[in-house]
Structure 1
Amino acid sequence: MTEKKFPFHDHPLAYEKLDRFSCILCKKKGGFGYFCDKCYFWGHKECIKRSLLHPSPCKHSLKIYTLEALGYAGDHCHFCRDYLLDDFFHCLICNINMDLKCLKDPPPSSIYHPKNHMHMLTLLPRVVTFTCNACSVEGKRNPYVCLECNLMFHKDCIYLPRVISINCHDHRISRIFHLGLGDWKCGICRQKISCSHGAFTCLRCPSLAFHLKCAMKDDVWDGKEFEAEPKEELEDELEDDSEKEIEDDSSEEEIEEP
């Protein structure tokens, strides 16, 4: 029987039909697949081709392990954070785990969301500590990185709202990536905001800023996002005011005429 070596398994695998083992990927029994007579690994050919023979999120070959065999890797998937209950997939180079769910539906390797950032953001699939440039909260794995701007984001923070209205301030506020130098304090919790991190600011009240998490609380924000920047709206209002002044001046001139 011909055996074949694959990068995801330590032993050669034989292609044969078996009915007594469940596929390690789809969990169904029976059919043709690859079998290891040393550790009793078995997987359908199509399942292996679909899930294990294409590039992983980290671009390296993943290997299949059990928690007992690779205890140092931790007991969570490094993408969805679910507990690893069965066999899992591990990259020895990046030291990251993936469960079956994330292997079948991996996170995107890059995200382009020009509404919030002008450049392509690239996934860095590593267990690495970073501070998100959007929410200012520390992350511990898999940031999305802008290589041109040297920024890092949680995946969810890429889609944060840009312009919102909150119930504790009269004007709309917009999100920026960093506040700049100053002694900044959140207008809601009154705690310090790092000048190098993201926040919501008010164009009309330049000394006011808000933590993203504070401004987006359920009891502060109604969940609605606005398309227009406050700056654009302010310019429109200034134009309207100018037009009103012109109209008022014209009216006064008409009244003064004999």
Structure 2
Amino acid sequence: MSKKRPLSFYLLAAFFGLFVLFLYGPFSAIFLLSLQGPEGQLTFPMRGFSFYWLGEVFQQQRVGDFVSAFQRSFLLGLLVMAITVALSVLAGMAFRSKFWGSNLIFYLTISSLIVPSILVSLGIGIVFSLLGIDNQWYSSALAGHLTWTLPFAFLIMVGVFNRFNPSYEEASRDLGANDSQTFWQILLPLIAPSLIGVGLFGFTLSYDEFTRTSLISGENNTLPLEIFGMTTNVTTPALYALGTLTTAFSFLLIGVAVAAFQLLSHRQEG
């Protein structure tokens, strides 16, 4: 006979259900309104059912351009992800041992999470202006996003390396491997699942970042800025359809990351 579950299990399950409803309940309205017919409006009741507005996202809008803004956000997210993963690994390896000034560098790194983001973006914009560099999504926006993603990734990698067993590296060196071979053939494969999480985290933080981008993106908007600018101008459910598509894209990224994580985990176990 199955063991009877305690009352606390049902209470926690109910709380979790309310939590999920709180997170995704408001989105359900966006999802439904994006599936209206061509005569659809911005509020209920729904006027027909079709995928018309999902297709309209890829067409020329009265105001703004969804496709170009998505491309800029996607490319910027990939750049931020690659740089974040590379620098966080190097920083994590450096902090495996104490060195002079390590505490100061540590606190300076995480202080970016405490400083108001609007001040960070203002400072970056001023510095780029003094250097004569135009504020663009691939330069100043990239710098602004890295001030947001690197501290998080750095803290994660410090935790990963604190739990890493150095005996693997010692065994590799005993077998004649040099430092480069030990890193690429032993250390990197072992921490690869963690790097997937760091990469996904960095990409998503950059992909939906608004505040740090608002003052330093130049004349070309990223997707969050384009959406914000169109909320006061768009009079069709195309904006709701964009929300549906970007949410589906986010779940797709999560699925790919989970599949890659499981694949690497199975290889390590094998």
Place the TM-score, normalised by the shorter chain, in its bin: under 0.3
Between Structure 1 and Structure 2, which shows a larger proportion of helix residues?
Answer: 2
Q: Structure 1 length as normaliser, TM-score?
A: 0.19
Give the TM-score normalised by the residue count of structure 2.
0.19
Larger proportion of strand: 1
Q: RCO higher in 1 or 2 (8 Å CA, sep ≥ 6)?
A: 2
Higher Cα Rg, which structure: 1
